[in-house]
Structure 1
Amino acid sequence: MASPRRRFRVRDFLERKGVTLESPDDRLTMEDTLMEGDFFHQELRRGLFLHLSDAMEARAFTASSHVQEGLSCIFFLDGEVGLKIGDRHFAFDGCRNGTVEGTAIMSARPDSFERQSHGAQRLRHLVVSASPEWLDLEGLQGHAGTGSAHHLFSGHLASQRWRLTPRAIELVGQLTNAPELTPALRNLYLEARTIELVGEALSALLRTDIDNKVGDALTQQDLIRLKRARDFIEANLMAALSVEMIGREAGINPSGLQRLFRLAEGMSVFGYVRKLRLEQAFTALQAGEMTIPEASLFAGYSSPANFSTAFRHRFGVSPRTTRRGK
């Protein structure tokens, strides 16, 4: 994302309220540079914040302040940084072994915050922060269920780390390399993708629980059939699919296929198909490749009003706004 380059000196850190600074370099002066690069921080919606940085850190330092309550989803692309929140330590190493990971941390109350940089390095990262009020408004806490997602919302400084899906990696890329847009369209662009990224994070945690349950409840043959069914659906998403057709390709009868999808995806076969079609409709509207009625029918909604409701719930923005912003 294009943003003015900024240089942060020792003085700039210390002029911030509640911030203290330590460095192993005892010759450090107030005018010495700590980091320089591109930084972006904005409240996209009340209680929902996006922070992006692509900067060069000049030296090792430790900055201390305080963190507010809420959920933080953290994605490091380059650089090694240590965080300490309260008495918990977190280590981040961007794209270790070529794998992009996300970390979700839930702070139930304000607490001390310490950030440690180990030396000169390039730092690229993205942080989405959501207040408890925003999480309640979006109904996310109520859908946490049990397992990993429930654990994340259940206690102070609960955390989960997960490997990003291809879609989540795409969203991170779209946020860190946003196109030039008017301010109003830029805000919509960022908000829609940020909300989807939070949804991807919680889906990943819920999927971890589902995968654990599936591993216990399904045989290896069931898992093979499930993969065949998913692959066939994705390869034929625009075709007139039926449960019988998908079942034949997967080597399982229709009722057995429905059982697999309810266990593994938490929805019916056609609930899963509709979810994928809705995601493709979003992409097509954004690119101007479909009209709203066409996207509605493609996603499986005979009623444009129902399509609009489902679309807004999934992506945080209306179909009309998405197409207008292409």
Structure 2
Amino acid sequence: MRVGDMVRRPGLTFESPEDFASLDAPLFRGRFWHRELRRGLVVHASDVFEDAGFTALSSQHEGLSCIFFLDGDVDVEIGGRGFHFTGEGRLREGLLLPSVRAESFRRHSPGRQRIRHLVVSATPEWLDRDGLASVDDRSVVNAALGAHLEGRRWRAGRRLTDLVDRMMRLGGSPGGLDQLLVESAAVEIVAEALASATGQDAPAPEARRDLSPRDRARLRRAADFIRADASARPSVEAIAREAGMSPSSLQRLFRAAYGVSVLELIRRVRLERARDALAAGECTIQEAAFMAGYSGSANFATAFKRHFRELPSQVAKP
């Protein structure tokens, strides 16, 4: 990202002690991504090298943030309250930060350094609709969520470290199977954070299972095959042959890894591709329906609303 890119970002004020000769001067280099996984569940992450120190001022939305730093040294001020984040190459802890209203946000980076960080954010609407669905005693959780800017740090165990690592590796992927893995990791991270803040046990995810390297390699071959041929809706048998296993073994592995059947995952991949095309203005709603495997726009709209919680007409460019 260049200095001019930061200066022109809406809702953000950029300051730096450096005397940049041009707005085209590099500010940081590497991977930086921001994605809404579901409506109200957002991931923001970076693996970059900053070429200069700078300060960015913007705003923090209402909701819950789970913040992790793996590398770097950054000071953040939210609503006048200061937080210091540092990382030394591996994850040591996370910060759960609830906010009951929008607040000012100030981030200061002192100078040249590598930054690796991850933020999983959830709106109150997502928490009420999805995030707290399996919580037995909501009063305890609501009390924690109502503690405005009362940051709670918790030690990173093996499971949390694995989840953050998964999101850092796959979070920049455009969609499909990788996005499903990232989404499930984000949901688990929120559950782990709330469990730590309230002393309750995190609910066990339906599809949790430690996969062997061989299983992971097979899943990767299957995933690559589906991505390459999702528009043709490949059969379970064809995918299983490509992955080097029987159809029944493939189904079991998919349910263990993703929590859904092979065909359901293909359906989601096609829906996500159709949504991306609509959002980019590359097709009409009828064309998107055909792309997703639906003969009519009515059934497509129903499936689209069920999956994304919004209608195709709300996504399509006018």
- One-letter amino acid of the structure 2 residue matched with residue 154 of structure 1: G
Indicate yes or no: 2:4 matched with 1:11.
yes
Indicate yes or no: 2:67 matched with 1:74.
yes
Query: Gaps spanning 5+ residues in structure 1: where?
Result: 1-7, 211-264, 267-271, 296-307
Aligned to 2:113: 121
Structure 2 length as normaliser, TM-score? 0.62
**Per the alignment, in what secondary structure is the counterpart of residue 261 of structure 2?**
helix
Aligned counterparts, 1:1-326, within 5 A: 8-26=1-19, 29-95=22-88, 100-140=92-132, 145=138, 149-178=141-170, 183-206=175-198, 209=199, 275=204, 279-280=208-209, 283=211, 318-320=259-261
CA distance in 1 between partners of 2:187 and 2:34 (Å): 16
1:277 Cα deviation from its structure 2 partner: 9.4
Moved over 6 A (4+): 179-182, 284-290, 292-295
**Contact 1:21-1:62 at 8 Å conserved across structures:** yes
1:135 Cα deviation from its structure 2 partner: 0.5
Query: Gaps spanning 5+ residues in structure 2: where?
Result: 220-244, 267-318
**Contact 1:61-1:118 at 8 Å conserved across structures:** yes
Change (3 A) 1:139 1:61: closer
1:82 Cα deviation from its structure 2 partner: 0.8
Change (3 A) 1:67 1:182: closer
1:9 Cα deviation from its structure 2 partner: 2.1
Structure with greater Cα Rg:
1
The one-character-per-residue Cα deviations of 1:210-263 (angstroms, maximum 9, x if unpaired) are 6xxxxxxxxxxxxxxxxxxxxxxxxxxxxxxxxxxxxxxxxxxxxxxxxxxxxx
**Contact 1:77-1:95 at 8 Å conserved across structures:** yes
Change (3 A) 1:63 1:10: same
The one-character-per-residue Cα deviations of 1:61-109 (angstroms, maximum 9, x if unpaired) are 111011211111111100011111111111100148x652111111111
CA distance in 1 between partners of 2:174 and 2:4 (Å): 34
CA distance in 2 between partners of 1:171 and 1:135 (Å): 19
Stretch moving more, 155-164 or 176-185? 176-185
- Alpha carbon RMSD of aligned pairs, Å? 3.6
**Contact 2:188-2:205 at 8 Å conserved across structures:** no
**Contact 1:83-1:115 at 8 Å conserved across structures:** yes
**Contact 1:144-1:153 at 8 Å conserved across structures:** no
Aligned to 2:238: none
**Per the alignment, in what secondary structure is the counterpart of residue 319 of structure 1?**
coil
1:121 Cα deviation from its structure 2 partner: 0.1
Change (3 A) 1:191 1:20: same
Change (3 A) 1:144 1:173: farther
1:279 Cα deviation from its structure 2 partner: 2.9
CA distance in 1 between partners of 2:60 and 2:173 (Å): 32
Change (3 A) 1:204 1:35: same
- One-letter amino acid of the structure 1 residue matched with residue 28 of structure 2: M
Change (3 A) 1:155 1:192: same
**Per the alignment, in what secondary structure is the counterpart of residue 38 of structure 1?**
strand
1:150 Cα deviation from its structure 2 partner: 4.9
Change (3 A) 1:20 1:324: closer
- One-letter amino acid of the structure 2 residue matched with residue 70 of structure 1: G
**Contact 2:33-2:171 at 8 Å conserved across structures:** no
**Per the alignment, in what secondary structure is the counterpart of residue 279 of structure 1?**
coil
CA distance in 1 between partners of 2:12 and 2:171 (Å): 33
**Per the alignment, in what secondary structure is the counterpart of residue 94 of structure 1?**
strand
CA distance in 1 between partners of 2:17 and 2:172 (Å): 40
